[in-house]
Structure 1
Amino acid sequence: MSRPSPVVISMGDPAGIGPEIILKAWSQRRSDAPVFACIGDPESLRATARQLALPAPVEITSSAEAASVFAAALPVLAAPARLTTPVIAGRPDPRHAACVKACIEAGVELCLMGEASVLVTAPIAKSVMYAAGFNFPGHTEFLAELTRDHPVAGERGPAMMLAGGGLRVVLTSIHESLAQAIAGLSAARIEHIARLTHQALVRDFGIAEPRLALAGLNPHAGEGGSLGREEIEIINPAAARLRAEGISISDALPPDTMFHAEARAGYDAAICLYHDQGLIPVKTLDFHSGVNITLGLPIVRTSPDHGTAFDIAGQGVARADSLLAALDAAREIAGHRA
């Protein structure tokens, strides 16, 4: 019987905590952890291991070798573009961007070819990538572009799901200002994201009859129109059409009362209308172990729900909790899809 394809982790910004938490995730893995390999610069990863007294990784030449190496060391697939300048922990450098981008592209290609089961992405610094000519708001949009010519089953994304502390939220807007998110709010967008979420809960999480909670935009969900009419004119009509399709979704709920424990017990995912509306409750419930999951792509992608943390890079204090949670989510989703 052939072994299942491994999970691959793109290294992220080498001056951030990505290399450290990847090495720690291998050191701290549980016995049931999926086999994973890092796509990155082998020498940079070995230097990080030496500096922090962590077990040294082993370079491999194909993802198929990962399983035979994994018990003894972290397997590393060399990035198609190597680092051309030294890495100084905590000091981002746009000259590293080509390697960072190549790691992501290689991970996507391995997943599309079936040589990897899931792509987990370590954090990148968007400002560093922008300085090197990167033209995407973030990972999510870049992954959508890399996979746009490949078919998906059902609704096409991308959509961003954040999970942690027993809560899943999906955003109708991602990397936009609050003013842009409000200006761009539409019934069509809400309906699209709700369908994406419904299909992901069925296919990727094994929930046969998902229940969705829909956040309102205004205080008290508009208070019957006295505090804003978006709920009446846009949000609730969208919910009614979704229910007519057979999707279980609420009308707009007051955002300040929909995330406490008793409320969360009544739904499987919340649809939120802007970035902080969804991320604040997830990070409050589980700051260290939140996971970012991209919905609606032909590949499975998860990620730690934190940034590069340049301020603590190289000090050995970074926690791998969120990356370990991202690996757990990768295993769960890949298992359901299989």
Structure 2
Amino acid sequence: MPAPLAPAPLAVTMGEPGGVGPEITLAAWETLRKDSVFFVIADPSLFPAEKIALIARPEEAASVFTNKLPVLPLEMPVIATPGAASSSNADAVIESITRAVAFALSDAASGVVTNPIQKSALIAAGFKFPGHTEFLADLTKDAAMPVGRLRGPVMMLAGPELKTVPVTIHQSVIEAARALNTDMIVQTATVTAQALAQEFGVTAPRLAISGLNPHAGEAGALGREDEEIIAPAIAALRASAIDARGPLPADTMFHAEARTTYDAAICMLHDQALIPAKTMAFHDAVNITLGLPIIRTSPDHGTALDIAGKGVARADSLIAAIKMAAAMVAHRTP
């Protein structure tokens, strides 16, 4: 039988050119040059000329990857100063993301790994999205999802020992509590269970569902949301054959023994999910967007303008994001 075809390379975006993206991309290539194949869509001037190979198409990346970082040049030039973000580069940053998604939708790339963007610089230039996740959802909204899969987007933070998913994300605590409803929880948990089964190789996903209030509401003494909003969501998930349990007190969900009982924790609030994820894997946690027709991962940190260009930025999280995307490609089922 003929050997199976190698997957298409991953597309890595440039991110904020004045941030740490260019240097950690080069460091990731130096670490992974014998492993996963990827290319970066960026201005070549951001990298040492002797370290890169210019490519015109994604399929050219594999032939040069061992010896050079493949760079697919942007059409828009970039003028970057390490440590400074400029709205003048916004169009180039957006072009990098847009082209990466287009390559993934056409199967020329097997997935997208996004370097951090400086949202303030993009918004100053007229960017109309709060961040990557919403922009990626918009870019892929007309593409079909795999059969039977719900559309997100849903954010997952994944490290070696813990995967967490917040139901509400960038809202104040008061706004998040007001916005929370049963349908949101069911949608988020279902997208997560489907992704665990079809992109992470988990045969029978187990979900731990947190409460909203201290002690999961203490039977209503500390708030009614756990009984009136979260418990019905868990009942609906179980009725659809998803192994979900809770609502669980968030302060007892993340110790070592508890983590053996589930594959992902669904949390009601941003910090319920991100504090344990980042505490356990601060340097190598990965931000994953579930519920898209493409695979997308990202390092779980920002542009780090304060250390950009100083040679001290760590590439651990980007390396983990590239490895995670490659593993998801290997597991993904139609």
Same fold (TM over 0.5): yes
Equivalent-residue separation in structure 2 for 1:213 and 1:5 (angstroms) = 34
**Alpha-carbon displacement from aligned partner over 1:36-86 (angstroms, at most 9, x marks no partner):** 000111112x2xx37xxxx62111111010001101110000123332xx2
Residue 30 of structure 1, CA deviation: 6.2
Aligned to 2:278, the other structure's residue is in SS state helix
C-alpha distance after superposition, 1:180-199 (max 9, x if no partner): 21111000000000110110
**Offset of residue 275 of structure 1:** 1.3
Equivalent residue pairs, number: 328
Q: Which residue does the alignment assign to 2:41?
A: 39
- Most deviating of 124-133 and 6-15: 124-133
Structure 2 counterpart SS, 1:28:
helix
Q: Give yes or no for the alignment of 1:28 onto 2:28.
A: no
**What is the distance in 2 between the residues matched to 1:99 and 1:37?**
16
Runs of 5+ in structure 1 lacking a partner? none
Q: Give me the whole-angstrom Cα distance separating, in 1, the residues matched to 2:292 and 2:20.
A: 27
| Counterpart among 283, 289, 295 of residue 284 in structure 2 | 289
* Alignment match, 1:173: 168
Q: What's 2:18 paired with?
A: 15
Match of 2:179 in 1: 184
Cross-structure match for 1:131: 124
Instruction: Note if contact 1:59-1:75 (Cα within 8 Å) is conserved in structure 2.
Output: yes
1:332 alignment partner, one of 318, 327, 330: 327
Displacement of 1:27 after TM fit? Answer: 0.9
Match of 1:107 in 2: 100
- Select which of 99, 110, 113 maps to 1:120: 113
Contact 1:119 1:300 in 2 (8 A): yes
Q: Does residue 140 of structure 2 align to residue 143 of structure 1? A: no
Q: What is the percentage of aligned positions where both structures have the same residue?
A: 52
Q: 1:230 aligns with which of 201, 225, 229?
A: 225
For residues 178 and 90 of structure 2, the distance between their equivalents in structure 1, rounded to whole angstroms, comes to: 33
- Distance in 2 (CA, whole Å) between partners of 1:150 and 1:80 is 25
SS of alignment partner, residue 58 of structure 1: strand
CA-CA distance at 1:237 after TM superposition: 1.0
Give 5+ residue unaligned stretches, structure 2. Answer: none
Aligned to 1:318: 313
How far the C-alpha of 1:179 sits from its partner, in A, is 2.3
249, 261, 267: which is aligned to 2:262? Answer: 267
Over the residues paired in the alignment, what is the CA RMSD in angstroms?
A: 1.2
| TM norm structure 2 | 0.96
Choose from 211, 232, 235 the match for 2:206: 211
**Shift, 1:175, TM fit:** 2.3
Partners of 1:59 and 1:76 within 8 A in 2: yes
Is contact 1:138–1:175 with CA below 8 Å preserved after alignment? no
Out of 180, 194, 198, the residue aligned to residue 189 of structure 2 is 194
Structure 2 partner of 1:4:
7
Q: CA deviation at 1:4?
A: 2.3
What amino acid is aligned across from residue 41 of structure 1 in structure 2? D
Which amino acid letter does the alignment assign opposite residue 264 of structure 2? A
Q: Which runs of 4+ in 1 moved over 6 A?
A: none
* Amino acid in structure 2 at the alignment position of 1:29: L
1:88 lines up with 2:81 in the alignment: yes
Query: Contact 1:80–1:106 at 8 Å: present in 2 too?
Result: no
Q: Structure 2 counterpart of 1:210, which letter?
A: P
Partner of 1:59: 54
TM-score, normalising length: structure 1: 0.95
Q: Is the 1:165–1:282 contact (alpha carbons within 8 Å) kept by the matching residues of 2? A: no
